[in-house]
Amino acid sequence: MQSALGRFVTTYGWRAYAIPVLVILTIVLIVVTVHDSRSTASATLDTDPEGVRNTDVTKETRPIGVPTGKIQEAALPAGALPDGGPYTRTGKRVFHAVKGTSPRVGTGQEYTYTVEVENGLNPNDFGGDKTFAHMVDTTLANRHSWIGDGKVSFRRIDSGEPDLRVSLTSTATTRELCGYQIRLETSCFYPPDGRVVLNEARWVRGATSYEGDGLAYRQYLINHEVGHGIGYEAHEPCKEDGSLAPIMMQQSFGVANRQIVALDPKMKANPNYVCRPNPWPYPTAH
């Protein structure tokens, strides 16, 4: 008597041998698909700044965004302040809020902000209070800015206690608030005041990496330091050679990983990657 297996083979012929192979291939395909999905999810998590966002950053007592490496200006040519117009070295260490408000832009968690200028700055150097405020407002309202992912929104006020004080600041006051561990002009977020400290020297002269594009650099400066203010404490390296630089990369000091790793020796980055300047958190937002 023919066995059940024999009858199966007699009935289906070569297909009887193909079926187990197809089953094995299907299992392999499922395993690979699951692995790729997990890998993709991990990659997305690793590159998503939301995963490392500290929404209680204003409770910190130290300045956020200050480079940790000890380095002199001569050791990092890309971070040197370019030649250009005049700026105020020492202000009055007192700020005034620029008059003006705006409707809420974006959705999600709301951050109120004031636009402030340190007393003692020369308006002719930076274009005046209204020009500075307009740049801050239009940058934060841009769909490529932090509102691009629908998780935060901004509303400008000119009285009361804001969440953020976006402040144009003299060099000396910037060094006082942000520190001067590295001998380069930098900016930062100073949590005790909720102050987004924008160094006027950088505002006026920009950065070598932006090759004279002052508008784009100012947009970057606003977005980067406000990014610290809404909780993105960590800096990021260039993640793909030739791609747009992450907004939380220290682009004021260069867009090549070899340059910025000198400021943060603990940062893991491919030293051969060089990015392109990018002033936006979400440059491809629609």
Show pLDDT as tens, one digit a residue, over the chain (286 residues).
555 545 544 555 544 444 444 444 444 343 333 333 333 333 333 345 545 889 899 889 999 998 777 776 777 899 999 999 999 999 999 999 999 999 999 999 999 999 999 999 999 999 999 999 999 999 999 999 999 999 999 999 999 999 999 999 999 999 999 999 888 999 999 999 999 999 999 999 999 999 999 999 999 999 999 999 999 999 999 999 999 999 999 999 999 999 988 888 788 999 999 999 999 999 998 7
Give the global pTM.
0.82
The reply to whether 29 falls in a domain is yes
The reply to whether 50 falls in a domain is no
How far is residue 243 from each of residues 144, 224, 277, measured CA to CA in Å?
16, 18, 9
In this structure, are 78 and 211 located in the same domain? yes
SS3 content of the chain, % helix, strand, coil (to 5): 40, 15, 45
* Number of folded domains that form the chain: 2
In this structure, are 104 and 181 located in the same domain? yes
The reply to whether 119 falls in a domain is yes
Q: Which residues touch 246 (CB under 8 Å, ≥6 apart)?
A: 49, 236, 237, 238, 239, 275, 278
In this structure, are 26 and 127 located in the same domain? no
In this structure, are 103 and 215 located in the same domain? yes
Phi, psi for 217 (deg, rounded to 5) = -65, -40
The reply to whether 243 falls in a domain is no
Domain ranges, residue 31: 4-39
In this structure, are 80 and 208 located in the same domain? yes
The reply to whether 19 falls in a domain is yes
The reply to whether 282 falls in a domain is no
The reply to whether 247 falls in a domain is no
